[in-house]
A = this chain, B = another copy of it.
Amino acid sequence: MDLNSLRSPLAFLQSRLPEIPHRDILKSEEAWWKNEGVAISDAIDRAGTPWLRMFDRLGKRVDEILYPLEYQTILKRGYRAGVVWRALEEKSLIPTYLLMYAISYYDPGICCPYTVSLGTAVPLAKYGSAELQARFLPQLLRKDDSLWQGATWMTEIKGGSDLGAAVETIARPAGDRWLLTGEKYFTSNAGAELAVVAARPEGIAPGVRGLTLFLVPRYREDGALNYFVRRLKDKIATRSVPTGEVELKESEGYLLGSAESGIYLILEVLNLSRVANSVVSVAVAQRAMADALSYAQQRAAFGKPILNHPLLRHQFETRLNALRSAFALAWESVQLLNDVWMERAPYSDRYHLFRLVAHLAKYWTAEFAVDTAKWAMEVHGGLGVLAEYGVERWQREAMILAIWEGTSHRQILDGLEVMERKRAHELLFRRLAEIAPSKELQEMESEVEQHLKLPTEERETLAELLFRRLAIFTAETLARKSK
């Protein structure tokens, strides 16, 4: 089995996909990362985490986020290459997720700002009034370094799963805009020029139906700060990205869609980031394997490179297969999303199929990334736990991927729901029928059907094992096709 495709994200993509749009761009990005980006990313992970200058010397609140300049170098590169603007200009998410795969092999954290910027541009393009679009969209799609970044701020201090209960930010109408007051507790890309923010219009009934999405710029029309960064968080990974807490104090906001449809908009934003999370997870796993490979080829024990020891070689080979399966699952979610990302509620069957696949992919790719990162550390022996050699970083990065955009619990339960309520598994099995051996497929179908007949509580209690098996089955089946 050829392990060499592990060494380059583009080589791996080429081994998996029949065609790669904008292949030349991926190639030049990869070359740049090898020569310069890797050293920058290492240095930032080690000591370059951003910090917050809350006041200037004169006591004016400025909430300036200070980064190493090099972070800007990395960051702006991806934007210029089109990680956001291509999606809207080319009306396809494929170039975006290809770029994310290639970039996150070198720096997974950087895809967080890209994802939330995309998650700002898309609902604006889809649901914003013509006036709002004219006012804000061009900045998000600029092709030079004057571009604006986006951000998607939903979670409050009571948690991110049960948004209906947790979102307490209130929006009051004020002429052509709204004034938002509340606190957001996990705000990725704090300091972004434009954010989409979940809030609750004053007087609307509690619960998930009252959620509404607003566009909130960093600065008010009069030039003053429109939101306040209370602090940045000390995360174990994605250390270049400023994740913080934001205070909204009568902050100017602009309605996206209508007040009643907010939850749909929020979930559509989440679609974009869950798929991104899956793509990045696979890239992190590939990177960890590549580091392990280069080490195992050079490090000798008992008279030969450790790669040539049968147990370790076997692990490399089975894990490469698993990587291919994980990629096939993630990429299926990309392709399905690319079909449905412009849909609005009520949604098509294809949208429900996408949702199921996206849950399976988010869940399984992250599990695989964490496990692979652990294994890569072990391949390095004692060096694996030293900060000096950087391999431990992939485990930290993978753990963030396992938790953000919903932990495994969330994916399992939401995946279960879309099977119960939309029969999405039937759509999935239909999709897999052309590839999977029929006996295996029937067994899997029957297992799912049995499970769905269980009493409610038991159905949830035992859901993990079923979901895991379904994810692996789907991944392996899809991988079979792509070969």
Chain A positions within 8 Å of B, measured between CB atoms, are 36, 39-40, 42-43, 47-49, 53-55, 57-59, 66-70, 155, 157-162, 165, 185-186, 230-231, 233-237, 295, 298-303, 309-315, 370, 374, 377-378, 380-389, 392, 395-396, 399-400, 402-404, 407-409, 412-413, 457-458, 460-464
Contacts and interface: CB of A to CB of B under 8 A. Distances in A.
Given A54-B231, A68-B70, A314-B464, 14 more contacts: A43-B67, A47-B68, A57-B295, A69-B70, A159-B381, A160-B381, A234-B387, A235-B387, A311-B409, A311-B460, A370-B374, A377-B403, A385-B400, A395-B395
Contact of A47 (B48, B235, B403): B48
B389 A57 contact: yes
24 contacts: A42-B66, A43-B68, A43-B69, A47-B49, A48-B68, A57-B298, A57-B299, A57-B389, A59-B158, A159-B301, A162-B302, A165-B303, A185-B382, A186-B382, A231-B231, A234-B387, A236-B386, A310-B460, A310-B461, A311-B409, A314-B461, A377-B399, A382-B404, A384-B399
Contact of A378 (B70, B311, B402): B402
A311 B43 contact: no
B298 A58 contact: yes
A383 B68 contact: no
Contacts of A408: 378
Q: So how many copies of this chain end up in the complex?
A: 4
Contacts of A378: 402-403, 407-409
Contacts of A302: 161-162, 165
A387 B48 CA distance: 16
A354 B138 CA distance: 63
Given A162-B301, A374-B370, A381-B160, A43 B48 contact: yes
Given A309-B460, A311-B412, A392-B236, A57 B162 contact: no
B409 A384 contact: no
Contact of A69 (B40, B399, B412): B40
A227 to B, nearest CB: 16
Contacts of A303: 165
Given A165-B303, A236-B392, A314-B462, A399 B387 contact: no
Contacts of A234: 386-388
